[in-house]
Amino acid sequence: QVRLVQSGAEVKKPGASVKVSCKASGYTFSTYNMHWVRQAPGQGLEWMAIFNPMGILTTYAPNFQGRIIVANDTSTNTVYMELSRLTSEDTAMYYCARDNNGWSVDYWGQGSLVIVSS
Amino acid sequence: QSVLTQPASVSGSPGQSITISCSGTSSDVGGYDYVSWYQQHPGKAPKLLIYEVTNRPSGISYRFSGSRSGNTASLTISGLQADDEADYYCSSYTTTSHWVFGGGTKVTVL
């Protein structure tokens, strides 16, 4: 079965960077794009990026352009999302989510909580 | 402020039908068939209910249905049940090759 397993919670200081991983299994990794979506406490969903494991497409949301990098390791079927210059407003649950080849998500990771605090 | 506009809350009694709207523009909801809906219970990851405006994934109850008129998409939940109490989000592909979400709607079962 399809599984997306994310890395654990992180606590970071303002100005630091965080790298969240998402290990995929149960399907052919290269044939589905991956989204990153975050959700601040008590808030709605916010799209961050879409990434193609074959390197064909990477698009970042304007709100994150310049401080987000999404990359992968095809040998381990893992996608990474790195967000830099963190502020308290980046405190959120971060999800990786598989695109079903139609700009919707059929599988979600369990989420990785990132807390930014001095 | 979200690009797609949803009502903050909708409520209904068990067995009733409710409809959640998702208002966008011709650059997103009205321009592409890539509109989807998600249900999220507290502390859980979202769950796909509807994709490509009207399609239900395998395993999703027929009580959930999607539609669109112009630049507004809608999710209808029929035969409302206690477990339907959750947050609901719409999303859409956009002209700029981005993906956007609505602000979310809290559904309360009275």
Q: pLDDT tens digit string along B36-61?
A: 999 999 999 999 999 999 999 999 99
Q: Which has the minimum average pLDDT: A14-23, B13-22, B94-103?
A: B94-103
Determine whether the interchain pair A110/B45 forms a contact, defined as Cβ–Cβ distance below 8 Å. yes
* Closest-CA residue to A2 (of B104, B42, B37, B57): B57
Q: Chain A residue closest to B44 (CA)?
A: A110
Contact A103/A32 with Cβ under 8 angstroms? no
Of A33, A40, A104, nearest to B55 (Cα)? Answer: A104
Q: What are phi and psi of A65, to 5 degrees?
A: -55, 130
Judge whether A45 is closer than 8 Å to chain B, CB to CB. Answer: yes
pLDDT digits (tens, 9 = 90+) for A46-74: 999 999 988 788 999 999 999 999 999 88
Number of C-beta neighbours around residue A91 at 10 A: 17
Contact assignment for B36 to A46 by CB distance below 8 Å: no
The verdict on a CB contact (< 8 Å) between B45 and A111 is yes
